[in-house]
Amino acid sequence: MADRLPKQSEDFPGWYVEVVKRAELAEHGPARGSMIIRPYGFAIWENIQRALDDRFKATGHENFYFPLLIPMHLLAAEAQHVEGFKLQAAVVTQGGGETLDEPLVIRPTSEAVIWPTYARWIQSYRDLPLLYNQWCNVLRWEMRTRLFLRTSEFLWQEGHTAHATREEAWDEALRMLEVYREVAEDVLGIPVIPGRKSESERFPGADETLPIEAMMRDAKALQCGTSHFLGQNFAKAYDVKFLNPEGRQEYAWGTSWGFTTRMIGGTIMAHGDDKGLRLPPAIAPIQVVIVPIYRSDEERSAVLDVAGKLRDDLAGNGVRAKLDDRDQHRPGYKFGEWELKGVPVRVELGPRDVEAGQVVLVDRVTGDKRSVSLAEATSGMAGTLDEVQLALFEDARAYRDENTHQIDDFDSFAAGVEEKGGFWVGPWCGSPECEEKVSAATKASLRVLPLEREDPRGPCIVCGKPGTERAIWARAY
Ligand SMILES: [Zn+2]
C-alpha cells in the first residue's frame, strides 16, 4: 500500500476523500459537481437498490419512468416547490442549434412532471391509490461538492403516490419511512432516528417531511432518507381531482419519498475506521475474500486447488466470495487492500492449513482470527456474516449513544456542540425564531422531532417559554 490513510481522529474529511479514492468507489467527473461511480462503488449501490426495491414491491409499489426534462411552466405551477428549487435548477435553453421557445428544467425531482400526468390517470376513487416509484438521476446545482454526499447529479429512487384520503396518504408516508428505517438499520447497519422535520427544514411543497437521521463517526448528523406527506398541495397545483363514492369531486392526497447514493457516503462514514472501509455484509460486493498463501509452485497448486473449491462451495451457499489468486502481490499486500475495501471476512489458507483441513477466518470488524475446519468455513459462513453485520450495527449504536447529550442550558449546549459535536436533546417551544437563533449561535440544525410528541420536560432552551417538543440538534452534513 502507498502511504497510510489519514487518521479519522486527526482529519476526518481527509480520511473520507482518501478512502473513496483508494477503495476505488468514485471520482470527480470532468464537469464541476459531477461524479464517476466506479464498479466497486456501483456494486454497493446495486445491493442497496435491490434491498429497497424488494421492499417497495412487497408493499405494493410498481416502477415506472418519467422524462429527464420538464417544461418550465410545469415546475412553476406549485409556488413553494419552484421557490425551493429555483437556485438549484439547471435549465436547458438551447437545442438543435436554436433557442427554445420554452426553457426545459433538468429534473431536480419529478413531482412537477408526474402530478400533471396523474391528473389524466386519476378520474375516480376507483383509480386510487397510485403506488409508483422510479429509479433515476436528478440534478441540483452545487458548488461545494463532496463525492456521494453532495454532488450536482446523483442517483436515487423517488416514490410518488396518490390516495383518496388524508389517512391513507399519511399511512403511506409512515410506511415508507419504516421501509427506510429497516433498510438503514438491517441492511446498512446504521442506527437511525425516524421522526419529523421542523417547518423550516421541510421539502418545498410538503405538509410534513419525515426523515431518518443518523450519526457519522465524526459525531455529525446525516439525513439518510426522507418521506414526505404532500397533503393536497400538488393535487391542487396540477388539478388532480377524482370523483368520490358519493359522486363529489375531491383533490387527491399525495406522498413522495427518496433515498439516494448519498447513503454510500453515509455507510462509509458510519462504519469506516483507520484502515479504511468496513462494509456491512448485506451490501458488500465481496463478502468473503480468500487469500492463498504459498511459496513454491507445488504449494501453490495444492493451496489453490482447495481455495478454488472453497470459493465454489461458498458461492453455492449464496455467499459473494472471491479468490484473490494474483501472483504479483504478496499476501500481506492483499490483506491491506481488502481491509481498505472493507471486505467483511478474510479467509487465509496456506499449505499447513490444507494438510490440516482447516482455514483461518479474520473478521474485519473486530480483527479477530480463528481457525475452523473447511466444512465449517462453508456451512458456518452465513452465520459469521450475520455476526459481522450485527457487530457493525452495535458498534455504530454505541458510538451514537456515547455522543448523545441532554441539554441542561443553552451555553453548555453551544460549547458542547463546538467542542465535541454529537446529538443534543432538549425542550423547544416550536417557534422558528428560536430555531434560527440556535442555528446562528451553534451552526447546529434541528435534525429531528419525535414522530409522536413527547413531554418536553422543561422550558424552551432558547426563550424559556413552555416547551412543546423535544428536539434533537446537531451539526450536519
Ligand atoms: Zn423558544
Cβ count within 10 A of residue 239: 12
Q: How far is the CA of 211 from the centre of ligand 1 (A)?
A: 23
CATH number of 12-271: 3.30.930.10
Task: Please tell me the predicted confidence (pLDDT) of residue 80.
Answer: 83
Helix 262-271 to helix 39-58 angle (10° resolution) is 110
Give the separation between CA 329 and CA 336, rounded to whole angstroms. Answer: 11
Long-range Cβ contact pairs of 299-304 (< 8 A, separation 24 or more): 299/350, 299/351, 302/351, 302/354, 303/349, 303/350, 303/351, 303/354
Q: How far is the CA of 437 from the centre of ligand 1 (A)?
A: 9
Q: How far is the CA of 306 from the centre of ligand 1 (A)?
A: 67
Q: How far is the CA of 448 from the centre of ligand 1 (A)?
A: 16
Q: How far is the CA of 325 from the centre of ligand 1 (A)?
A: 63
Q: How far is the CA of 441 from the centre of ligand 1 (A)?
A: 14
Question: pLDDT tens digit string along 92-104?
Answer: 999 999 999 999 9
Q: How far is the CA of 461 from the centre of ligand 1 (A)?
A: 7
Cβ count within 10 A of residue 361: 20
Q: How far is the CA of 459 from the centre of ligand 1 (A)?
A: 8
The answer on pLDDT for 85 being more than 90 is no
Task: Please tell me the predicted confidence (pLDDT) of residue 463.
Answer: 95
Question: pLDDT tens digit string along 237-252?
Answer: 999 999 999 999 999 9
The arithmetic mean of pLDDT across residues 317-336, rounded, is 96
**Among 234, 39, 56, CA closest to 158:** 56
DSSP classification of residue 449: B
- What the block records as the C-alpha cell of 266 is 453515509
The answer on pLDDT for 1 being more than 60 is no
Task: Please tell me the predicted confidence (pLDDT) of residue 69.
Answer: 97
Task: Please tell me the predicted confidence (pLDDT) of residue 454.
Answer: 79
Q: How far is the CA of 212 from the centre of ligand 1 (A)?
A: 24
- What the block records as the C-alpha cell of 209 is 417531511
The answer on pLDDT for 290 being more than 60 is yes
Band (pLDDT 50/70/90 cuts) for residue 419 is very high
Task: Please tell me the predicted confidence (pLDDT) of residue 410.
Answer: 95
The arithmetic mean of pLDDT across residues 273-280, rounded, is 98
Task: Please tell me the predicted confidence (pLDDT) of residue 2.
Answer: 57
Give the separation between CA 281 and CA 236, rounded to whole angstroms. Answer: 45
pTM of the predicted protein model? 0.95
Q: How far is the CA of 232 from the centre of ligand 1 (A)?
A: 30
Cis peptide before 13 (omega within 30 of 0): no
Q: How far is the CA of 399 from the centre of ligand 1 (A)?
A: 30
Task: Please tell me the predicted confidence (pLDDT) of residue 76.
Answer: 87
The answer on pLDDT for 309 being more than 60 is yes
Note whether 322 and 287 are within 8 A (CB). Answer: no
SS3 readout for 69-117: EEEHHHHCCCHHHHHHHCCCCEEEEEECCEEEEEEEEECCCCHHHHHHH
**Among 437, 420, 429, CA closest to 474:** 420
Band (pLDDT 50/70/90 cuts) for residue 81 is confident
Q: How far is the CA of 248 from the centre of ligand 1 (A)?
A: 43
Give the separation between CA 85 and CA 139, rounded to whole angstroms. Answer: 11
Q: How far is the CA of 389 from the centre of ligand 1 (A)?
A: 41
b/e 411-427 (16+ beta carbons within 10 angstroms → b): eebbebbeeebbbbbbb
The answer on pLDDT for 291 being more than 80 is yes
Task: Please tell me the predicted confidence (pLDDT) of residue 239.
Answer: 96
Give the separation between CA 22 and CA 28, rounded to whole angstroms. Answer: 13
Element (H, E) at 304: helix 297-316
Q: How far is the CA of 293 from the centre of ligand 1 (A)?
A: 64
Task: Please tell me the predicted confidence (pLDDT) of residue 4.
Answer: 86
Note whether 189 and 392 are within 8 A (CB). Answer: yes
The arithmetic mean of pLDDT across residues 67-78, rounded, is 92
Question: pLDDT tens digit string along 251-271?
Answer: 999 999 999 999 999 999 999
The arithmetic mean of pLDDT across residues 424-448, rounded, is 96
Task: Please tell me the predicted confidence (pLDDT) of residue 370.
Answer: 96
Weakest mean pLDDT among 80-84, 109-113, 158-162, 169-173? 80-84
The contacts of residue 302 (CB under 8 Å, 6+ apart) are: 294, 351, 354
Give CA separation, 221 vs 188, 191, 393, 417, 422, in Å. Answer: 16, 12, 16, 12, 8
The domain defined by 405-474 folds into Translation Initiation Factor IF3 (3.30.110)
**Among 272, 189, 192, CA closest to 225:** 192
The answer on pLDDT for 62 being more than 80 is yes
Q: How far is the CA of 466 from the centre of ligand 1 (A)?
A: 8
Q: How far is the CA of 467 from the centre of ligand 1 (A)?
A: 7
Domain residue ranges of the chain, discontinuous segments joined by +: 12-271, 288-384, 405-474
Q: How far is the CA of 439 from the centre of ligand 1 (A)?
A: 13
Residue with cell 455507510: 267
Q: How far is the CA of 17 from the centre of ligand 1 (A)?
A: 39
Amino acid of residue 255: T
**Among 255, 130, 111, 260, CA closest to 183:** 260
Residue 291 φ/ψ region, left for φ over 0, alpha for ψ in the -120 to 50 degree band, beta for the rest: beta
Q: What is the mean pLDDT of the chain?
A: 96
Q: How far is the CA of 456 from the centre of ligand 1 (A)?
A: 12
The arithmetic mean of pLDDT across residues 215-220, rounded, is 98
Q: How far is the CA of 460 from the centre of ligand 1 (A)?
A: 5
**Cross-strand bridge partners of residue 92:** 104
- What's the chain's length in residues? 477
Q: How far is the CA of 438 from the centre of ligand 1 (A)?
A: 10
Question: pLDDT tens digit string along 110-157?
Answer: 999 999 999 999 999 999 999 999 999 999 998 888 999 999 999 999
Superfamily of domain 288-384: Anticodon-binding domain (3.40.50.800)
Q: How far is the CA of 449 from the centre of ligand 1 (A)?
A: 15
Q: How far is the CA of 414 from the centre of ligand 1 (A)?
A: 15
